[in-house]
């Protein structure tokens, strides 16, 4: 009797191992389908496994995550959020959750939806489970903050990243020095305000353009307004009051309000150009630091 | 004994775990398809159905169920060409065939395959049911209008009647739409140009653009006043008079030309609007009949 019970226990133990491994087998099958480029079949297999394991939320989530991988290979990134939204986040562990948030973040980052990307990255950082994931997401968070022109917070985020690394003091100090150099306050591009530029242009035509550095545009709006003023004066001095009033009514407001309204576009494009060229340099350095410190725990 | 029962249990688990999508039974396939469509994975669902139909183990009825289901779900998601490709494959042996045929015609009309839709409707034999044949005539008439076949429509118009109040209402709307299309086609570019020459902007009123008419009138009139004023005060040889005069004549003749051209543009706009109304109208009785 004892022999039989021990045998049964061993079998049970084997069965548990087998059950856990059987999903590994399923993942292997999907991988082999991907290898021979049968992406559609692999997607269906993922969906079917998620469907038949609906009670086991964690496995369903894993299969849906696998599906996003296939969607990326198929260049069907638009369908990724749809697949991820279906995962029931309430009953799964934090590691899996952070992977799901990471996939979400990558999708939103690539489709330039900055606010949603930031939301997901903050969720990963708050969970703080996988060291590798949280490291790369700290760097990504800095990139996002640079994009929002919030350089001071980005700098403190980078310093936090380096302080958490287990390095010897000299290299750490060297890295901190480079970050301080990169985020030098004097180097930040000077962002100009649209409101101020519009106000200046309203007070005197061309002044807002000069404030933004568009000297040619300033000269042009001044001459256009001056010429139409001269036309009105010429007509009035020759007693052609009707044509003076009508032409002045048509031309003067057109050029004056055009001069004010063009400021928003001019200031915004110039600000964007400045910030982008600064960020490009910054991001290159950030990625370089990440490449160097990637392997350190 | 226990050992054998355990072995049996073990093998049972093994057999269910190893199953792939192609080996499951039909009911579970339907469940899976419902799961996919409920979760909006329509491209996966379509791929699954296409692959399952190739499987020879299924009966014709089972295949028809799958085809009809995906055709309808694609139709609801407004992917009309895919919907049509599924619905045309449904065989004549099921009782769903008339529903499938009418929805296939609706999806062909929505993808502007009017010739095919007309052929499909003419091939459809529904003489046994007066309701279905009046529906068929209604659909044919609508598609004739969409295809600009006025003669065929007028031949069919006396046959358009129904005992059903909803279909009768839709037939009435179709006839009204046809009338307004004919009225719009009667307007001539020459008349619009002539009216614009007499009073600037009047041609635009004739074609139906009242907002544009006012702005055109103000522009031309202001330039006219400015030219006349400069001519009186500064003389004919003054450069300002010449510039204002040439601007005035350019706007005046441009307005005449614009009115004449806008007749065709307004016609096209109106036609698109009516075509849209007809397309929406074509689907309403189908939804109602096969509910």
- Tell me the pLDDT tens digit for each residue of A135-168: 888 999 999 999 888 899 999 999 988 888 888 8
B198/A44 Cα distance (integer angstroms): 70
State the best of B44, B234, B235 to mutate against chain A, taking most chain A CBs within 10 Å. B44
pLDDT digits (tens, 9 = 90+) for B118-154: 999 998 888 888 888 999 999 999 999 999 888 888 8
Radius of gyration for the alpha carbons in chain A, expressed in angstroms and rounded: 31
Sign of torsion, CA A224 A225 A228 A234?
A: negative
Write out chain B residues lying below 8 Å of A79, CB-based: 43
Contact B230 A243 (CB under 8 A): yes
Residue of chain A minimizing CA distance to B49: A44
The confidence score (pLDDT) of residue B208 equals 80
Contact B229 A242 (CB under 8 A): yes
**Residues of chain A above pLDDT 90, percent:** 38
Cβ neighbours, 10 Å, residue B31: 14
pLDDT digits (tens, 9 = 90+) for B241-288: 999 999 999 999 999 999 999 998 988 999 999 999 999 999 999 999
Contact A117, A108 (CB under 8 A): yes
Question: What are the C-alpha distances in Å from B248 to residues A272, B204, B218, B226, B252?
Answer: 44, 18, 12, 9, 6
The confidence score (pLDDT) of residue B227 equals 92
Residue B193, pLDDT above cutoff 80: yes
A14 — pLDDT class (breaks 50, 70, 90): low
Residue A188, pLDDT above cutoff 90: no
Report the residue from B3, B32, B232 with minimal CB separation from A48. Answer: B32
Between residues B208 and B265, the one the model is more confident about: B265
Contact A44 B3 (CB under 8 A): no
Which of A61-65, B19-23, B91-95, B161-165 has the least mean pLDDT?
B19-23
What is the H or E stretch that residue A160 is in?
Answer: helix A151-163
The confidence score (pLDDT) of residue A130 equals 78
The confidence score (pLDDT) of residue B277 equals 93
Sign of torsion, CA B104 B106 B107 B111?
A: positive
Contact A15, A51 (CB under 8 A): no
Count the helix, strand and coil residues of chain B and give each as a percent rounded to the nearest 5. Answer: 80, 0, 20
Contact B10 A246 (CB under 8 A): no
Mean pLDDT of chain B: 87
A23/A20 Cα distance (integer angstroms): 6
Q: What is the DSSP letter of A193?
A: P
**Distance (Å) from the C-alpha of residue A286 to the closest C-alpha of chain B?**
39
Would an 8 Å CB–CB cutoff place A233 in contact with chain B? Answer: no
Would an 8 Å CB–CB cutoff place A15 in contact with chain B? Answer: yes
B139/B106 Cα distance (integer angstroms): 8
What is the H or E stretch that residue A79 is in?
Answer: none
Residue B13, pLDDT above cutoff 90: no
CA B131 to the chain's CA centroid? 24
**Distance (Å) from the C-alpha of residue B255 to the closest C-alpha of chain A?**
19
Residue A99, pLDDT above cutoff 80: yes
Contact B178, B279 (CB under 8 A): no
Would an 8 Å CB–CB cutoff place B8 in contact with chain A? Answer: no
pLDDT digits (tens, 9 = 90+) for B62-82: 888 889 999 999 999 999 999
Residue B100, pLDDT above cutoff 70: yes
Contact B44 A47 (CB under 8 A): yes
**Residues of chain A above pLDDT 70, percent:** 95
Name the B residues in 62-121 with CB < 8 Å from any A CB: none
Residue of chain A minimizing CA distance to B24: A48
A297 — pLDDT class (breaks 50, 70, 90): low
Contact A226, A243 (CB under 8 A): no
Task: Indicate the SS3 state at residue B125.
Answer: coil
Residue A226, pLDDT above cutoff 90: yes
Mean pLDDT value across residues A55-73: 89
Contact A82 B244 (CB under 8 A): no
**Residues of chain B above pLDDT 90, percent:** 46
Residue A197, pLDDT above cutoff 90: yes
State the best of B11, B222, B227, B244 to mutate against chain A, taking most chain A CBs within 10 Å. B222
The confidence score (pLDDT) of residue A206 equals 92
B12 — pLDDT class (breaks 50, 70, 90): very low
Residue A169, pLDDT above cutoff 50: yes
The confidence score (pLDDT) of residue B225 equals 92
The confidence score (pLDDT) of residue B15 equals 46
pLDDT digits (tens, 9 = 90+) for B224-238: 999 999 999 888 888
Encoding tokens for residue A164? 């958490």
The confidence score (pLDDT) of residue B245 equals 93
CB pairs under 8 A between A and B: 73
Would an 8 Å CB–CB cutoff place B51 in contact with chain A? Answer: yes
Mean pLDDT value across residues A268-292: 91
Write out chain B residues lying below 8 Å of A4, CB-based: 2-3
Write out chain A residues lying below 8 Å of B39, CB-based: 86
**Distance (Å) from the C-alpha of residue B230 to the closest C-alpha of chain A?**
6
B201/B214 Cα distance (integer angstroms): 6
Question: What are the C-alpha distances in Å from A125 to residues A58, A91, A130, A155, A219?
Answer: 21, 19, 10, 17, 52
Would an 8 Å CB–CB cutoff place A146 in contact with chain B? Answer: no
Would an 8 Å CB–CB cutoff place A239 in contact with chain B? Answer: yes
Residue of chain B minimizing CA distance to A54: B35
Report the residue from A240, A246, A247 with minimal CB separation from B234. Answer: A240
Sign of torsion, CA B84 B90 B92 B96?
A: negative
Burial string for A256-286 (b: 16+ CB within 10 Å, else e) reads: beebbebbeebbeebbeebbeebbeebeeeb
Would an 8 Å CB–CB cutoff place B172 in contact with chain A? Answer: no
CB neighbour list of residue B123: distance below 8 Å, 6 or more residues apart: none
Residue A267, pLDDT above cutoff 90: yes
Contact B176, B156 (CB under 8 A): no
Would an 8 Å CB–CB cutoff place B243 in contact with chain A? Answer: no
Encoding tokens for residue A224? 């256009």
The confidence score (pLDDT) of residue A260 equals 94
Contact A235 B240 (CB under 8 A): yes
Prediction pTM value: 0.73
Name the B residues in 183-222 with CB < 8 Å from any A CB: 222
Contact B226 A247 (CB under 8 A): yes
The confidence score (pLDDT) of residue B68 equals 92
Contact A44 B2 (CB under 8 A): no
Residue A259, pLDDT above cutoff 90: yes
Residue A195, pLDDT above cutoff 50: yes
Residue A13, pLDDT above cutoff 70: no
B14 — pLDDT class (breaks 50, 70, 90): very low
Residue B35, pLDDT above cutoff 70: yes
Contact A239 B233 (CB under 8 A): yes
């Amino acid at each position: 009797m004892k022999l039989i019970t021990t045998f049964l226990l061993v079998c049970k133990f084997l069965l548990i191992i087998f059950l856990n491994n059987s999903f590994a087998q399923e993942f292997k099958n999907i991988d082999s389908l991907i290898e021979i480029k049968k992406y559609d079949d692999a997607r269906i297999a993922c969906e079917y496994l998620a469907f038949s394991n609906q009670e086991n939320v964690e496995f369903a989530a894993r299969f849906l995550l696998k599906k996003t991988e296939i969607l990326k290979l198929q260049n069907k990134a638009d369908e990724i959020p749809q697949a991820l939204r279906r995962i029931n986040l309430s009953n799964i562990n934090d590691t899996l959750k952070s992977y799901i948030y990471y996939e979400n973040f990558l999708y939103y980052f690539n489709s330039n939806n900055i606010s949603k990307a930031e939301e997901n990255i903050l969720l990963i950082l708050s969970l703080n489970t996988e060291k590798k994931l949280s490291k790369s997401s700290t760097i990504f968070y800095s990139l996002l903050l640079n994009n929002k022109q919030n350089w001071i917070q980005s700098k403190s985020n980078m310093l936090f990243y380096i302080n958490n690394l287990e390095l010897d003091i000299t290299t750490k100090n060297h890295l901190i020095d480079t970050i301080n150099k990169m985020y030098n306050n004097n180097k930040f591009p000077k962002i100009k305000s649209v409101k101020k530029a519009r106000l200046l242009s309203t007070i005197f035509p061309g002044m807002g353009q000069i404030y933004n550095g568009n000297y040619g545009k300033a000269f042009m709006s001044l001459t256009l307004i001056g010429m139409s003023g001269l036309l009105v004066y010429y007509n009035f001095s020759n007693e052609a009051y009707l044509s003076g009033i009508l032409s002045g009514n048509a031309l003067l407001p057109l050029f004056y309000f055009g001069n004010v309204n063009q400021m928003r576009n001019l200031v915004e494009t110039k600000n964007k150009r400045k910030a982008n060229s600064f960020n490009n340099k910054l991001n290159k350095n950030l990625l370089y630091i990440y490449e160097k410190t990637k392997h350190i725990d | 004994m226990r050992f054998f029962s355990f072995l049996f249990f073990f093998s049972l688990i093994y057999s269910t775990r190893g199953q792939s999508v192609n080996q499951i039974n039909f009911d579970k396939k339907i469940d899976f398809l419902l799961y996919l469509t409920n979760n909006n994975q329509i491209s996966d669902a379509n791929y699954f159905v296409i692959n399952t139909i190739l499987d020879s183990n299924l009966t014709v009825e089972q295949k028809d169920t799958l085809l009809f289901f995906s055709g309808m779900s694609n139709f609801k998601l407004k992917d009309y060409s895919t919907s049509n490709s599924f619905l045309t494959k449904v065989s004549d042996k099921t009782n769903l065939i008339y529903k499938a045929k009418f929805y296939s015609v609706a999806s062909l009309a929505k993808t502007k395959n009017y010739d095919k839709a007309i052929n499909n409707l003419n091939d459809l034999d529904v003489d046994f049911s007066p309701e279905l044949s009046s529906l068929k005539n209604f659909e044919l008439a609508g598609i004739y209008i969409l295809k600009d076949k006025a003669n065929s429509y007028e031949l069919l118009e006396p046959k358009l009647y129904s005992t059903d109040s909803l279909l009768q209402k839709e037939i009435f709307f179709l006839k009204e739409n046809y009338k307004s299309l004919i009225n719009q086609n009667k307007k001539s570019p020459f008349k619009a140009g002539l009216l614009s020459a007499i009073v600037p902007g009047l041609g635009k009123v004739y074609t139906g653009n009242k907002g544009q008419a006012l702005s055109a009138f103000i522009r031309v009139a202001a330039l006219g006043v400015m030219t006349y004023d400069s001519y009186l005060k500064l003389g004919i040889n003054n450069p300002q008079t010449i510039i204002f005069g040439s601007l005035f004549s350019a706007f005046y003749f441009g307005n005449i030309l614009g009115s004449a051209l806008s007749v065709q543009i307004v016609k096209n706009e109106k036609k698109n609007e009516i075509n849209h109304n007809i397309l929406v109208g074509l689907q309403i009785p189908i939804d109602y009949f096969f509910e």
